[in-house]
Structure 1
Amino acid sequence: MSGTSEGPMPPAGTAPDTGQPMVTERDSSDVDRAELRDYRSAFQVAALPMAVVDRHGQVVRANEALGGLLGTEPGVLARQSAADLVDLASDRRTWQAYREVLGGSRSRLRCTRRLKHPDGRSLWAEITVVPMAGPPAGGGSDGVLLSVADISDRRELQNRLRHLQMHDPVTRLPNRTLFFERLSTALEGPPFQDDSLPRHGRIGLCYLDLDGFKAVNDTLGHRAGDRLLAAVATRLTDCAEADGFDRSGSHLVARLGGDEFAILVEDSAGTHQLTELARSVLNALQQPFDLAGQRLSVSASIGVVERASAGTSPTGLMQAADTTLYWAKADGKARWTLFDPERNAHRMTRQALSSTLRPAVERGEFTLEYQPLVCMADEVVRGVEALVRWNHPQFGMLPPNRFVSIAEEDGTIVQLGRWVLRTACRQARRWQVEHPGEPPLFISVNVAVRQLRDSDLVADVAEILAETGLAPGLLQLELTESAVMGSSGRPLRVLQALSDMGVRIAIDDFGTGYSNLAYLSRLPVSVLKLDGSFVRGFRYEDGAHPSPADETIVEAMVQLAHRLGLTVTAECVETSGQAERLRRIGCDTGQGWLYSRAVAPERIAELIGTRALEV
């Protein structure tokens, strides 16, 4: 015996060490073939249309579902270009991504395509292309798996949701969101267009709202208001379609909210097209509406903007349209108004002035100039009118008519008026001190009606006179005729208190306002300043004929004023002929370019004690 013992031999077909069944090369190949058959069977019977595509983009194998989708036998698809079958080359970005997946540098492509079904209907499909390792379905070298999923139902649902999001439920018109989307697209540049149609490169907009729509809602209820809006939408659409017939540009009618509508002309033929469209809209809306037995009549105000598309932004176009709509309503409603660049520039300037007016007072950007008030009898300067100027850092020196009305609207006139009064009184007192041998000049200062109502003008005047040392009799306050006439309550008490203090009250531009002479006996007025329009009728020079009516009116007013104990100042005296006639009539004081324009304080100092026409 050898001294060793051998165990029992393992059964045939098992590993000697483990006792597990041995896998031969033949057995392994049988398993691979079985798996391959399973893969191919699953691939063929899958409900999802699929194809195996080689690295060159050729179909290796297609399943039954894909053949059915494309209306052919799966075998016919072999060796065809997969990109052609599902339209992957129609745009550059998708084509590039597809090539990258084929080349192995990209892990996935997913895109949406609209395909034609064999039964004639269109369907939306989601195409997915992914690399595949090994040849499970088609055999051969590695390739990619292309699958096609029918997403028509989902796409239809998305379209319905988008329609709801982009349209107004009351009028069924595009809403504000869709309007601005379309406007932005139009301004970015037109997509593919028919070269046979002329293109103008212009855009137009009619922006409108209904006049008095709130009254319909308030009196008849929101249901009637909604019916009216829907009816208006129908008429606007009819007008837009009639105007757009046979034109190259399309029209979009939208409800922007409330009773605001817009008609966008994406390729305007010019201003005439937009104004004709606006005119037809007005005519259409002026026809009565019959709504569930109720007959309603409405009108609209329309802002019209037309301009080149290049350089125009959605924001800029809408700002212009909103401004023009405001003009249409301010001009009387029930009309259309065309955007006017000059009018808009004036508005923008006014806005700029309004926003900087109050800080300008605080920064000391205002200054005073003085225009002489000359005695008609001896032509000696007896007083001056203080005229405020704004030395604007952007617009230069501005006269009062550019900013005083703005100051009255926003209340800055109270602060500005107080500064003007203090500065003028201080200057008048300085002239008096510097020329002790001459009769002191009185100072005339304009006062806005808002100063009477919104400030303690009596206290301000008393404080400033005490501060500067100017006598009350040397201060004259000018108010316009429209501000003084009809005064009662607080304004009348203010005027009376100022008069009791010794301050003189003058009515400026007399003869152009109410001209109710009965008020003169009730108001504490000392001076009437005749409006310059009467004085201009006295002109003899340059062959011009004087107006007998103006002379008669002025003479009557001067005589009446004198009988009431008032003095009269004539404004806008420009010629010696006018001055002579006013002197004969009995006018007390004259003011105008014949004597001097408004000048700096230093120039007034030179006129003190002299005849104005001799300096």
Structure 2
Amino acid sequence: MRTRIGLSARFAMLAVVVLACVLGMVALVWDRQEAMHREAQELSVQAISEFSSTRLLSRGQAATVQLAESLVNPVYYFDLDAIGGAVRAVLRQPDVSYVIVYDNEGQVIHDGSPDISTYGQTMSDPFAYEVLGLEAAHVQSNDTLVDIAAPIRIGDQRLGGVRVGYSLAAVKAEEARVGGVMASRLQAIGRSQLLWLGVLLVGMVGLLVTIGVVLQRSLVSPVQQMADAARQIEAGTLDADVPASRRKDEVGDLMRAFAHMRDSLVRHDRDIRRMAYTDALTGLSNRLAFRELLDERVAQGHGSAHQLALLFADIDDFKRVNDTIGHDAGDEVLMQFSGRIREVIDRHGGGGSELARFGGDEFVILLQGLAGEDDIRPRAGRVATALVQELSRPISVHGRQIFLGISIGIALFPDDAADVPALMKNGDIAMYQAKVAGKNCYRFYSRVMDQAVERRVRMEQDLRGAWERGELSLAYQPVYRLDDGRLVGAEALLRWRHPEHGHVAPALFIDVAEQSGLIEAIGPQVLRAACMDARGWQEEAPAARQLFVSVNVSARQLRAGDLATQVEAVLRETGLPPSRLHVELTETAVIGDEARVSGLLARLRNSGVKVWLDDFGTGFSGLSHLRRVPVDGVKIDRSFIADVLRDPDDLALTTAIIAMAHSLGIQVVAEGVEKEGQYALLRERGCDMAQGYWLGQPMPDEEFRRLLA
């Protein structure tokens, strides 16, 4: 007998089936929703984590590089107070755990503490090894710390480095906080959804559609929008569109919190960009900002009538300000110069003009114009003329009037260059030519300048290995004692016979060797060869045992710090008595680091080597060096001797130098004696020794040996 199923049972069965379907659908929806919650939470936390880390790294790198640049002069002059001030300013920043300034051997110069407790200690932490030889900013990290290091260099010379340690505690705490907030908000959303499920079950199929729509509009869509915004923020688009909400529930709170977080990130990014693109001293745009602007302007100029003029401006003799009256005065000069330049640009630059400080005492100016309306070349000339005139006026700093000047190089786009690197290179070349032309002037770039640079590069290439190929040799100019006319020594002079161009003027190739750093390899070879020749004189002629040989030492050799060790090794190798070697230094090589130089020269003198100041009287401080630098003698520059018979001022200066040196127990050599009258006058004034063409021209070693015989 068949059992009859009534309508109620069918309805119940249908209800059960429908309810099962609804429950299955709800289960599927719930599973999908939970997956979206987890994805939103993971994406938000991941976005916060990556952005916070990237922001910390970007801010840290910019701050570390800026600190390294600000420490160049304090480290170069070993100004611990200035170093400590800069270090402590960084230590006061949030998240900074430590700041370490170290030298090239990895020894700590300053750690920001009042007593510098780690001074002189070698860095031994796990991050120390990789930062010793770095040439650019370097980042290392572990789970709790980010270590950012940057080299401290002046020109091509590396003085040491600085390390800044940033704690990741704040980043991880922010990640945990955001994760907790997201989790709590999503849990609250989950509880709210349970209520909707009950409504769905009561409302059956019809309500399922309604509830689905409500869920889609009230929850899924906002979460998806926030997830999309989080992905854009993660990709670097900080102005991503975050939907606004007036809802008073947890989703509204989450959406408003997310919007506030986005606004906070935008503000921080704006502040970081402002710090990264602005020169801290003058408030002008810095190198990075200007380079981006120049890239944009050049890109706009391709295929259009736009013209650009790039003016490279460099303050003449700015180093003299830092060396004589201090770096605070130098900063004041830079600020006054930037103000004057800005005034000139506002008056003559026209629309679209930009000014930036490129670093140190260099400024760059960008002028923009349209071909045919206001040609850019005459306008650039007017601006450069106005700048030269304006910056030739004296500057009052710390109660003193300072006369400087400015050298300007001008390169035009598209006439002189088709891209940014070429435009900047050509502007720099033109500025260098303005320096060569006598400073305090401007020069437009021309193809001839490229040829001059090419010749200089070719000369540098030819100079490499010239000593090993036998092209470089030494000539010796005799030095005579004035009271009895006796030969007492000789100055070793470097000569270059090029296989194609013949004899190259020393003023040309020695300057190239200095600028390129080749002098650091050639200098020790010259020293060794001169000492070996002098030792040979003594062996061949007993009367020559009292002769000395003087060798010129460049400023780069002096800054290298191992000159005394080199001299001692050469003397041991050649067997030349130390008292028979005279080391000659230019006065400008001593300026700026007299404390370190004094210690180096004292070591040389203690070994018996004589130290002389060459080209004396041409530096910035003159006789003041005789009180602070231990020397045995000075060589009066030939520019004073040339007119000593005609110019009363040169005679007075020469006489004063001789008297002052003798009062300090220092001997005097006169260079450039080319007339008998000069010789007689110098002997009358009590000068000790002299050299020059009238007494004897520079000659090869063989000829000098015949002179001894």
**TM-score, normalised to structure 1's length?**
0.50
Q: Which has the larger radius of gyration?
A: 1
